[in-house]
Amino acid sequence: MAEEPTPTLTKKHVSAANIGSSKLTKVPLTASTLSFTLMARLGHLLAGASAIGAALLSVSGLGMVQLMENQALSAFFQLRGPIVPPQDIVILAIDDQSISIPEQYYKTDPKHYVYLEPLKSFPFKRAAYAQIIEKLIKAGARCVALDLVFDTPSSYGINDDRQLQAALQQYGSKVTLAALYENFQTHQGIFMQLSPPQEMFRVGSVSIGSVNFPLEIDGKVHQLASEFSDFLPQDDSLAVKMPSFDEAVLLAAQINYPRPKGDRIHFWGTAGTFETIPLWYVLDPENWNTYLEQGRVFQGKIVLIGSTDKLNNDYHPIAAGNSLERMSGVEIHANAIATLMQNKAIAQAFNTPPLRSLFVLILVGGAAIIITKTKRGIERFTFSLVLASIWGGISYVSFVYAQLIFPTVTPMIAIAVCGLSYLVTEVAREKIRIHQFINIFQKYKTSPVVQEIISQQQDLQDLLQQRDLALTGKILAGRYKIVKVLGAGGFSETYIAQDTLRPGNPSCVVKQLKPANTQSKALELARRLFESEAQTLEKLGTHPQIPQLLAYFEQDAEFYLVQEYIEGHPLSQELPLGKPILETKAIAIVRDLLQTLTFVHENGVIHRDITAVFR
């Protein structure tokens, strides 16, 4: 098969061709340089946008940003794992064991287990708490705190309340009771109200504190109970804010502690980290004398009494646990009290939004500058991941050992996005470069040099084939169906096509001429030259050794010549490089060519190039 048809050009067409070829060689180079420059700048622009965006997001207050940062803090707690809690805080748990065992024992033998009578049913008698307070204080407990709200009369009668009142009257200075802010709904709407202990229990210098903890956007307890007051409505009904339960406990224990540097709880671990003792052990003589060493276990300690049973379901998600883990309210208070005692409240590294925003901007911007020290996109992306991980590690160390919270997730994502921006823009630049190479190689793929390059690059071969396949089947002028891309030159491309409007769909050659400049004046000039070329080919096509012109047309600002298809093989096959031929054969070839050229010259045409085809 022929590699190319045999075109002959008029003098006018030579001028147009020269203009076209010069434009086509210059434009790709200029476009390439511009594209590479723009892509490089785009990478820097995206990196800068990432830094600015991260700085703005860090102070935006968006829920998603806060959620991600809180999840990072939870991950830090879990990565650290549980640590040994302070030994001077003990939890007396109203657990399932304390509810079920006393009831069973008492029913079995009421006389023998008469000391369990206050615990024979749940809720327990308040006389039970009175006895426990007395025993603990006499055993040397520093403070007894009840994470229970006694806001209504006892179901066991007034005498039951009076027993607790008497104990509070005597030991109240070392006792803390709980109050609770609750939401109530009426026909006028929902309102918040404080439910404090009954008036009769506010005796003997008893300290009272609210047990409410604010919840973060992730639904977990992160902050100290003292921060809950910030969420209270500013109205007259709640004009007097009550101290938190944890602050009240430390007041009753007469423990002086520094002002918290932060507002977040330092959790020592997940549920079960603090020592927990079943409540009923205190009233059971055997456990009191043996396991509790006659109360010496409580000496000098803060004792918290609260529910850990499944019935009350006083469990809440916390910062130190995953989304499925819960901690009892009384153990959350133990962590909060220990946080205040040991001055471990976790604080934001930057208290003001402008400082936090500026820090993130400098951090991400500095990381972007460091990333650019490497050249390749994949290296920059990898380096960005390394830098993001390093920052995550620094944030973790600061959180665990210095109790400081730095913006973590937002800068990490922004740093990674910087590296990704450079990677994506480099990939885009590479795609543009390959596309430009493909266009150049497609135009000159018949060149031995280009063919040598393509033969060594499988990806270029595949891309060229993809382009050829994309053109296959295209219909030109509603008639000529492209079958194969035959070849290309500096300003044209040649196809083998089928004439679908002729019987048998005979093959023909369609040559596409692409004007370099599609502006109206240049296009009009190209159109005149094209028509002149077609007229010349029509006249020259009467020679038996010159392809006959079958048609010419314009479509989408591109010009097409349809010529006779000549089967044969190219000159390079007839005259292989480096291989001599017989003199007689050379003379025959030249004579044949000269006879054709004579005919061309006699018709007033000067040729630009000749493609010989041997049949």
Binding residues: 511
What are the residues facing 223 on neighbouring strands? Answer: 264
Are the C-beta atoms of residues 499 and 479 closer than 8 Å to each other?
yes
Please say whether the dihedral angle defined by the alpha carbons of residues 561, 565, 570 and 571, taken in this order, is positive or negative. negative
Backbone angles phi, psi at 55, to 5 degrees: -65, -40
Cα distances (Å, whole numbers) of residue 28 to 234, 260, 488: 69, 66, 16
Q: Cα–Cα distance between 336 and 326 in angstroms, integer? A: 16
HEC profile of 343-370: CCCEEECCCCHHHHHHHHHHHHHHHHHH
Strand pairing class (549-555; 302-307) = unpaired
Q: Which of 428, 463, 443, 441 is nearest to 35 (CA)?
A: 428
Please say whether the dihedral angle defined by the alpha carbons of residues 95, 96, 101 and 103, taken in this order, is positive or negative. positive
Backbone angles phi, psi at 32, to 5 degrees: -60, -50
What are the residues facing 561 on neighbouring strands? Answer: 511, 552
Binding site listing for ATP: 511
Please say whether the dihedral angle defined by the alpha carbons of residues 194, 197, 200 and 204, taken in this order, is positive or negative. negative
Bond from prior residue into 123 cis (ω within 30 degrees of 0): yes
Provide the 3-class DSSP secondary structure of residue 236.
Answer: helix
User: For the CA atoms of the chain, what is the radius of gyration?
Assistant: 45
Cα distances (Å, whole numbers) of residue 417 to 44, 149, 423, 590: 11, 51, 10, 66
DSSP line for 442-482: HHTTTSHHHHHHHHT-HHHHHHHHHHHHHHTT-EETTTEEE
Provide the 3-class DSSP secondary structure of residue 232.
Answer: coil
